[in-house]
Amino acid sequence: MFGDKIHRYLYVFFLSGIAFSLPLSEFFTSAFTIALVSNWLLTVDSWRRLRNFFSNRPLLIFLSIYFLYVVFLINTGDLTTGILVLKLKLPLLTIPLVIGNTKILNSNELRVVLSSFILGVFIASITGTFDYFIFSEGITDRRNISLFISHIRLSLMVCFSFFISSYYTVIHDHTDFRFKYAYALFALWFAAFLLILLSLTGIIIFIVLIFFSSYRIITRYVNKAYSGISIIVMVAIFLMILGYLGYVTIDFYSVKEKYLPDYEEVTAGGRKYTHATDKKFLENGYYVWRYICDEELRSEWNRRSTLDYDGSDLRGQEMRHTVIRYMTSLGIRKDSVGIWKLTGEDINSIESGHANCRYRDGVSLSDRVYDLVWQLDHYFKGGNPQGNSVTQRLEFFITGWNVFKKYPLFGTGTGDLVDEYMLQYRDDASKLDSKHRRISHNQYLTVLVRFGLTGFILYIFALFYPVYKLKIGNNFLAPVFFIIIFLSMLNEDTLESITGLVFFALFYSLFVFSGEK
């Protein structure tokens, strides 16, 4: 057993190790977590502090989240899965317990932990970017930039790292000037990387945080004479963003195809066109399922490409569907003449799985917004959501809500969640195949389905009460972190993976149970 000083060094080291490993390795994240708990169990101080454990009401209430999973084993049919869920959720118990019963970090120790996290995120972002642009030829999905964890969780960590770096650059009074420059460079890189990654979840949360942090800085540090002007500018920028979204939506529904009293029946080669005039799907303002001659498309496409017209593109999508959508986006007819209007670059783009010519030169932020509108339009017109991230989430949500309506008071129980979802997909005759049928990407709904209204109310109370009671709002970084987490839980099952759980448990505990109030 070491002395208290050594245990303290190890405590900070293991916290830093967890923070550094989060964006890089689940294995090392778990290993450092186990080491953190082991070090705490071996300290004399931990047992002394544990005597006062039951007087720490906010910590006790937060830890009750874990015990909800234990209690709701009662209405679980699949106990084996339930036990596995308890094992997965252990960071919700162990990390807050250790941090909440250890002497709080001083500002230098906290900076070491936060800087370790920044460094880990920087390495993950740099290696992913290098791998994507140098080695991933023919792979065009931006999600592949995240090599080690989910691209959405990486985007959340990048957002948080940007604001940590900005905090130590602009706000923190005791940061050495040499380090300020380093933090400033990190902040610039993280902002640029968000645009490279193009995660809509990350970008939306980043924009929200920019407005939030700007408002806080303006109201606290800017002369009142200028604060009003600054707020007006912020509102104007917000309205411009809304205006841009409106413009993209209106442009999407602006039909460019010329209306003809009667559609032509045959191609230049004398073969028959098909016109599904009842289908209103659009690509760049042109109707997709009109002026299609599959016979000519199949013959001429197979002459121009090594990938079969009746097979799949490099993303595993139906090649016929990709060809037709892409040609529609160019405003050309889907026949032999249209196939030979395609350039070599167009052929490569189609083979890579791009279904619209606007993605040919890479996906921009405006393209991501267009894709969002397209997905929603496609889904609400009866299209299959499979392979589309936003509308798949809608399908997950609707399925989860239907499960909740079956078990409104006490939910499915800890272990039966996935089984009940699969049964509901079958009952709803979902268009998603078995590979794409998942639980809702909404943490709040997942809790509601698992525990019902009874457990959900207790869960939300335990989640927010410590934040309210301990008044962490004066700390700049704590509200930033909570906005990231609580917004992400609308679009992600953030606490259903070990990386998301540890990310949440670590920084929640540091800011609430070991931070400045």
Q: What pLDDT, on a 0 to 100 scale, did the predictor assign at position 261?
A: 55
Evaluate whether residue 398 is within a structural domain: no
The answer to whether residue 392 is domain-embedded is no
- Give the tokens for residue 277: 């005039």
Q: In the predicted model, is pLDDT for residue 185 greater than 60?
A: yes
DSSP of 62-96, one letter per residue?
Answer: HHHHHHHHHHTTTT-S-HHHHHHHHHHTTHHHHHH
Domain boundary among 362, 387, 419: 362
Q: Are residues 205 and 296 in the same domain?
A: no
CB 377 within 8 A of CB 342: no
Domain finish residue from 298, 330, 362: 362
Chain segment 192-249, per-residue pLDDT in tens: 999 889 888 899 999 999 988 887 777 766 555 556 666 777 788 888 888 888 888 8
Residue 250 confidence (pLDDT) above 60: yes
| Mean predicted confidence (pLDDT) in 341-363 | 88
* Residue 428: per-residue pLDDT: 93
Q: Which segment of 38-42, 52-56, 149-153, 325-329 scores lowest on mean pLDDT?
A: 52-56
**Mean of the pLDDT values across residues 299-306?**
94
Share of the chain above pLDDT 90, in %: 59
CB-neighbour burial class of residue 435 (10 A; exposed 0-12, middle 13-18, buried 19+): exposed
Query: Tell me, what DSSP letter sits at residue 291?
Result: S
Q: Residues 101-112: what's their mean pLDDT?
A: 90
- Residue pair 13/54 in contact (Cβ under 8 Å)? The answer is no
Please give the pLDDT value at position 390. 87
Q: 217 with 298, same domain? A: no
Angle at 503 between CA 497 and CA 509, to 5 degrees: 125
What's the rounded Cα separation, in Å, for the pair 290 and 275? 4
Q: Are residues 86 and 15 in the same domain?
A: yes
Whether the per-residue pLDDT at 316 is higher than 50: the answer is yes
Is residue 94 a part of any domain in this protein? yes
Distance CA 88, CA 86 (A): 5
Query: What own/partner pairs with CB < 8 Å and gap ≥ 24 does 462-468 have?
Result: 462/61, 462/62, 462/64, 462/65, 462/68, 463/62, 463/65, 465/58, 465/61, 465/62, 466/58, 466/59, 466/61, 466/62, 466/512, 466/513, 467/512
Query: For position 244, what pLDDT does the model report?
Result: 85
Q: Answer whether residue 388 shows pLDDT above 60.
A: yes
Residue 478 has pLDDT above 50, yes or no: yes
Same domain membership, residue 222 and residue 79: yes
DSSP 192-208: HHHHHHT-HHHHHHHHH
Tell me what the pLDDT averaged over the chain comes to: 88
pLDDT greater than 60 at residue 45 = yes
Task: Show the tokens assigned to 292.
Answer: 């299609």
Asked if residue 232 is part of any domain, the answer here is yes
Rounded Cα distance, 73 and 450, in Å: 10
Q: Do 57 and 197 belong together in one domain?
A: yes
Query: 502 lies in which domain range?
Result: 4-236+437-513
- Average of per-residue pLDDT across 409-431: 94
pLDDT at residue number 29: 96
Which residues, 6+ apart, have CB-to-CB distance to 210 below 8 Å? none
219/338 same-domain check: no
Asked if the structure places residue 20 within a domain, the reply is yes
Average pLDDT, stretch 302-326? 93
Per-residue DSSP letter, 437: -
> Contact at 8 Å (CB) between 481 and 160?
yes
Q: For residue 395, tell me if it sits in a domain.
A: no
Residues 82 and 186 in one domain: yes
- Inside any domain, residue 456: yes
- Report d(CA 162, CA 164) in Å as an integer: 6
In a domain, 245, yes or no: no
Residues 128 and 43 in one domain: yes
Q: Which of 328, 344, 362 is the last residue of a domain?
A: 362
Phi-psi region of 173 (alpha: psi -120 to 50; beta: other; left: phi over 0): alpha
Q: Which residue, among 209, 198, 29, 27, has the nearest Cα to 129 in the 3D structure?
A: 198
> Do residues 113 and 39 share a domain?
yes
Pairwise pLDDT comparison (471 vs 397), residue with the higher score: 397
In the structure encoding, which two tokens stand for residue 454, read together? Answer: 């009874």
Rounded distance, CA 297 to CA 305, Å? 11
Longest Cα separation, the chain: 90
Domain total of the chain: 2
In a shared domain, residues 322 and 189:
no
Half-sphere exposure of 91 (CA within 13 A, CB side): 25
Tell me what pLDDT residue 517 has.
44
As a whole number of angstroms, the distance between CA 145 and CA 105 comes to 34
Looking at the structure, do residues 286 and 232 belong to the same domain, yes or no? no
pLDDT bin (cut points 50, 70, 90) of residue 367 is confident
Task: State whether 197 and 99 are in the same domain.
Answer: yes
